[in-house]
Amino acid sequence: MDLCLNNRLAVITGAAQGIGAAQARAFAEEGASLLLVDRNEAVSVLAETLGGESLTGDLAEPGLAESIAERTAGMGGAAILINNAGISRPSPLAETTDQDWHAVMDINASAAFRLTRALWSQLAAHSGSVINIASFAAKRSTLFGNNSSYVASKHAIVGLTRAAAFEGATQGVRVNAIAPGVVATEMVKLHDEATRERIKAFIPQGRFADPAEIADLALFLASVRARHICGEVININGGLHMD
Q: How far apart are CA 74 and CA 69, in angstroms?
A: 9
pTM above 0.95, yes or no: yes
The verdict on residue 78 lying in a domain is yes
The verdict on residue 3 lying in a domain is no
CATH of the domain at 46: 3.40.50.720
The verdict on residue 155 lying in a domain is yes
The verdict on residue 149 lying in a domain is yes
Nearest to 153 by CA among 109, 103, 95: 109
Catalytic (active-site) positions: 150
Percent of the chain with pLDDT over 70: 100
Q: How far apart are CA 222 and CA 219, in angstroms?
A: 5
Q: How far apart are CA 209 and CA 62, in angstroms?
A: 34
**Overall number of domains in the chain:** 1
pLDDT digits (tens, 9 = 90+) for 110-153: 999 999 999 999 999 999 999 999 999 999 999 999 999 999 99
pLDDT digits (tens, 9 = 90+) for 54-67: 999 999 999 999 99
**Domain coverage including residue 214:** 9-235
Q: Which amino acid is at 202?
A: F
pLDDT digits (tens, 9 = 90+) for 30-52: 999 999 999 999 999 999 999 99
